[in-house]
Amino acid sequence: MKRIGLVAHDKKKSEMVEWASQNKLVLSAQKLFATGTTGGEIIKATGLDITLLKSGPLGGDAQLGAMIVEEQLDACIFFMDPLTALPHDVDVKALTRLATLYNVPFACNRATADAVLGGI
């Protein structure tokens, strides 16, 4: 069982929900964590068991980063919207930096998410 973090920017949440629905069987065998809004939407659509963290702008991205540092996360799937400016961009960059620093698989779009999930 792998520990996977899930998060999506607002304009990518529906894509994350669709992806999670399509991968429900594999995801149901993992320990899932998600930022509040993203996780809530996934739970509503799929019924997956997900530990909810704070919303991304309220510290959820930082919580995922801390989990990486504490070796409590095996992968992070973060559907990013590259066309929207974000007030919490610093948190997003910190999460990306920590995943890179600690060599944790970090998927930022559907193609890389499929690749990460395929390796589990």
DSSP H or E segment with residue 98: helix 89-101
d(CA 3, CA 102): 15
Coil, strand, or helix at residue 64?
Answer: helix
In DSSP terms, 106 is beta-bridged to: 76
DSSP H or E segment with residue 32: strand 31-34
Active-site residue (options: 49, 61, 81, 89): 61
Residues 6+ apart with CB under 8 A from 89: none
Q: Is 81 a catalytic residue?
A: no
Catalogue the active-site residues.
61
